[in-house]
Amino acid sequence: MIKRTLFFGNPAYLSTRNEQLVVKFPAEEKAEVTIPIEDLGYIVLEDPQITITNGLLMKLVQNKTAVITCDKQHLPCSLLQPLVGHTEQTERIRYQLDASLPLKKNLWQQTVQAKIENQAAHLKGRSKSELKLKRWASEVKSGDSENHEAFAAAYYFQNIYTDLVPEFSRNQKGIAPNNLLNYGYAILRAVVARALVSSGMLPSVGIFHRNKYNAFCLADDIMEPYRIYVDAVVYEILETGANVEELTTAIKSQLLTIPALDVFIDDKWSPLMTAVSRTTNSLHDCFKGGSRKILYPQFLINTS
């Protein structure tokens, strides 16, 4: 079942009753709203005047619902996750921590290849040349020792949005649509972190990323081939001619559809949140020694 994503951008009182999320809006004179907690995958809390009860937080965590809070710039800044995400968590973490360096280099090679191939497919889908990226994808070595990931990313962002925003360059603090990309990537990061915990692994211990100040190194590794879906949503928003200087409620609503997007993985279409879980489960199989291949999606346009 596809889990729902809820966004709260106004003051609200959130509590629980009978396994339901109960929502009350103090500024509106209307009856309370109830939603089954078991249906929820992600909750985004933006307004600083939102009140949430500890009883509700407990039930959301037990349901493995990711609770995301936002900062003053309206960007996701924290993620509430359960301490125990899988019944075999201790064993699975041990496999993760004991993973050999050659295995991690191989997994990073597969990750970079999948990311660049998806970037190439996105360029091709927008009637732009993808040949250089296809060549780089085929040349990625173990551990990406020649840093093809960085070269490909620079080339990709120099070309993907230039027909819509000629002066665009990828920079977190740069001009729009960087603000949309930042928001979308933050949501994607939460999706991946949730899936990693559910698969019994530590999001902080990566296969490539290893910044000691980053609590989501593994999430940042695994989300790389999935970034393309954020890029595609942002492209479609730009095509509408919408003003993207500010993250409006309408734009956020589109970006919050990312967890439910259809993606093509293992020869079938699946919601992105389901596909990410398949990826994290395949990663565990690699850590355990049952497989040498991590499962990633192939970027296609769903015409069904």
With 60 as the cut, is the pLDDT of residue 303 above it? no
- pLDDT tens sequence across 134-183: 999 999 999 999 999 999 999 999 999 999 999 999 999 999 999 999 99
Lowest mean pLDDT among 29-43, 235-249, 253-267: 29-43
Note the helical H segments in 126-176.
131-139, 148-159
Residue 237 token pair: 């928003």
**CB-count burial class (<10 Å; 0-12, 13-18, 19+) for 72:** exposed
pLDDT at 166: 94
Query: What residues form the annotated binding site for Mn(2+)?
Result: 149, 209, 224
With 80 as the cut, is the pLDDT of residue 28 above it? no
Q: Domains along the chain? A: 4-80 (3.100.10.20), 89-288 (1.20.120.920)
- pLDDT average, residue stretch 263-269: 96
Higher pLDDT, 83 or 103: 103
With 90 as the cut, is the pLDDT of residue 101 above it? yes
Query: What residues form the annotated binding site?
Result: 149, 209, 224
Q: Decide if 26 contacts 8 (C-beta within 8 A).
A: no
- pLDDT tens sequence across 68-82: 999 988 888 889 988
Which residue bears the tokens 């489960």?
281
C-alpha closest to that of 78 among 181, 226, 186: 186
pTM here is 0.92
Residue 114 token pair: 């999948």
What is the rounded CA–CA span in Å between residue 256 and residue 251? 9
Which residue bears the tokens 């301490």?
83
pLDDT at 33: 93
- pLDDT average, residue stretch 206-230: 95
pLDDT at 74: 85
- pLDDT average, residue stretch 232-244: 96
Query: For the range 269-277, what are the long-range contacts, defined as Cβ-Cβ under 8 Å and sequence gap of 24 or more?
Result: 269/302, 269/304, 271/2, 272/191, 272/226, 272/229, 272/297, 273/2, 273/3, 273/41, 273/191, 273/195, 274/2, 275/226, 276/191, 276/192, 276/195, 276/222, 276/226, 277/195, 277/198, 277/199
Please say whether the dihedral angle defined by the alpha carbons of residues 246, 163, 173 and 70, taken in this order, is positive or negative. positive
With 80 as the cut, is the pLDDT of residue 16 above it? yes
pLDDT at 304: 45
pLDDT at 31: 80
pLDDT at 13: 96
The proportion of the chain whose per-residue pLDDT surpasses 70, expressed as a percent, equals: 98
Q: Decide if 42 contacts 66 (C-beta within 8 A).
A: yes
Q: In what order do the strands lie in the sheet with 40-45?
A: 4-8, 40-45, 66-70, 76-80
